[in-house]
Structure formats: structure tokens, C-alpha cells
Amino acid sequence: MEVERPDVLIHAAAVCGGIGANRAEPGRFFFENAVMGVHLIEDARRGGVGKFVQIGTVCAYPKNTPVPFHEDDLWNGYPEETNAPYGLAKKALLVQLQAYRQQYGFNGIYLIPVNLYGPHDNFDLASSHVIPAMMRKFIEAKESGRDRVDLWGDGSASREFLYAGDAAEGILMAAEQYDGPEPVNLGSGQEITIRDLAEKVASLVGYRGEIAWDTTQPNGQQRRQLDVSRARELFGFEARTTLDDGLRKTVEWYMTSRLTETSQASRG
């Protein structure tokens, strides 16, 4: 801070992952997200940073939030249990920023992106989110000739997804135009069931085998869709990338990445 003297600091770092990763390491997900955020906000205040942009998480919303999720409902209950430690750690940073605004006049804003995806995503099956996990499973099944892919839950849960490029645009728009204390959702406003998502991804990568649902594993929160009107009204953000286009771009990037890795490995 003292060397760079930033005018604006965007805190987008997180220790995060899908349901499996959250269940495996809830303590780490709570501690590391809370500690890095708390210290970074305090250091930014002490270092005279003009504006702090905190990226929160849709996991902070209560388990039974009415759909679409509105920012005013953020405190009306406990988050869905499988990712509550992560969600609460991130939500505590909203409290810190609002308290710092009140006491120190520190300009910190808090954005709540919905589930993100896109090129350069994490495709590690042990820690990835649903879209990259599906893509990898279907692609590997196709390549190996397997006729069945197992997915968690029963497919009935729904999610809203925001393409990473759109999220980046929304974050920059908020950094430039929004200076308020209230949290703001960033999303596409469109909801899809996991079952329908799986069929889209399978079709996109050319997998024609069976999609089997492992109902011994959790669905996670049953529905997620954001009310995105506040972002539109306060700084004019609207997602521009459709889910179909975003999935296609992500698959193309991942396939190119896999080919590059295979080529490098063969030369090594």
C-alpha cells in the first residue's frame, strides 16, 4: 500500500470451490476468506486508499431467500449449510465496510456476483464449480468412450450464471460510478435447472451417453436467481453474454487449453 499508493483497490481473491470443496474444508474456507478480507480492508484504510471494492458471494444469501434474491433480504436467515462458512466470512466484510464508512468515512462498496464461469476457470474436479466440472466430465467421458457420467444431486436445483467477462465489466462500472453503502447484486437475471444445464453442456461438447444423477449427494441451495435491478439503476449494468454463447466460449477455451497441455507434455 505504502509503495503503490492505489486510488482504487478491488478485492476479488477468495478461497472457494463447489459443494464438495466447501464440505471438505469449511474451517479453511471461513478462516482464510475472513482473515484476508479483514486485514486487506484495514490496511487499505490505513494506507489511504480512496475506494475499496469488495467482491462478495451469492452464498451469503439465506437458504430460503425469496426468488429473485433482493439485496434487502441478505440478513433474513442463515445461508445454505453446505457453503455457509464461506458465505458468512464474505458477508462479515460487508459489515466491516459499512462500519468503516460510518466511523472513518472510508469509501468501500460491496458487490454480490452470482455463480461465475468462463475461460480460465478452475477445471479441477476436486474444487471446481458446476459448469467447469460438467465440461471436464463430459469431455473426458467422450474421449475415453464411457457411456455414463454421474452428476451430484437430482438435477432439480436451479442456478443463475454470469459470464466472467460480463462480471468484470460490472465490477469496473461499479468502481467508477457507485459509492453507496448498500450491497449490489451482479447477475444475468436468468435461471436454469442443473438438469437442463447438463443437457446443454453435454450437447455442446458432443457427449451422447447417459447422464446419471447421484441423489446421495446434495443439491445445495434449491434455487438461485438474483434481482438485478439495483445494478441497472445505480450504474447501468446489464449482462450482455447469453448462457449459450458463454458456454460455447468456455468450451472452446478449455479444449484449446487441453490441446496445448497435451502438446507440451508430449514434447517434454
Given a contact cutoff of 8 angstroms between Cβ atoms, the answer to whether 135 and 121 are in contact is no
Can you tell me the distance from the alpha carbon of 262 to that of 259, in angstroms, rounded to the nearest whole number?
A: 5
Q: Which three cell numbers stand for residue 87?
A: 458465505
- pLDDT tens-digit series, residues 123-156: 999 889 999 999 999 999 999 999 999 999 999 9
Phi, psi values for residue 145, rounded to 5°: 80, 15
Please report which confidence band the pLDDT of residue 1 belongs to, taking 50, 70 and 90 as the band edges: low
Q: Which of 118-127, 170-179, 241-250 has the lowest mean pLDDT?
A: 118-127
Q: Parallel, antiparallel, or unpaired: how do β-strands 8-11 and 51-55 relate?
A: parallel
Alpha carbon of residue 64 to chain centroid: 19
Q: What is the mean pLDDT of the chain?
A: 95
Closest-CA residue to 208 (of 254, 117, 125, 143): 143
Can you tell me the distance from the alpha carbon of 71 to that of 267, in angstroms, rounded to the nearest whole number?
A: 52
User: Any idea which residues carry the catalytic annotation?
Assistant: 86
Given a contact cutoff of 8 angstroms between Cβ atoms, the answer to whether 185 and 67 are in contact is no
3 state DSSP class of 205: helix
* Rounded mean pLDDT, 13-40: 95
In this predicted structure, the answer to whether residue 264 has a pLDDT above a threshold of 90 is: no
Its CATH class, for the domain covering 8-262, is alpha beta
Please report which confidence band the pLDDT of residue 266 belongs to, taking 50, 70 and 90 as the band edges: low
Q: Which three cell numbers stand for residue 221?
A: 441451495
pLDDT of residue 22: 92
Can you tell me the distance from the alpha carbon of 61 to that of 63, in angstroms, rounded to the nearest whole number?
A: 6
In this predicted structure, the answer to whether residue 262 has a pLDDT above a threshold of 90 is: no
Alpha carbon of residue 10 to chain centroid: 16
Q: Please work out, in degrees rounded to the nearest 5, the angle formed at the alpha carbon of residue 94 by the alpha carbons of 74 and 235.
A: 80
pLDDT of residue 139: 96
In this predicted structure, the answer to whether residue 98 has a pLDDT above a threshold of 70 is: yes
- pLDDT tens-digit series, residues 198-245: 999 999 999 999 999 999 999 999 999 999 999 999 999 999 999 999
- pLDDT tens-digit series, residues 51-64: 999 999 999 999 99
Residue boundaries of the structural domains of the chain: 8-262
In this predicted structure, the answer to whether residue 121 has a pLDDT above a threshold of 60 is: yes
In this predicted structure, the answer to whether residue 117 has a pLDDT above a threshold of 60 is: yes
Q: What's the sign of the alpha-carbon dihedral 70, 76, 77, 79?
A: positive
pLDDT of residue 260: 72
pLDDT of residue 268: 58
Q: Which of 4-8, 24-28, 182-186, 248-252 has the lowest mean pLDDT?
A: 4-8
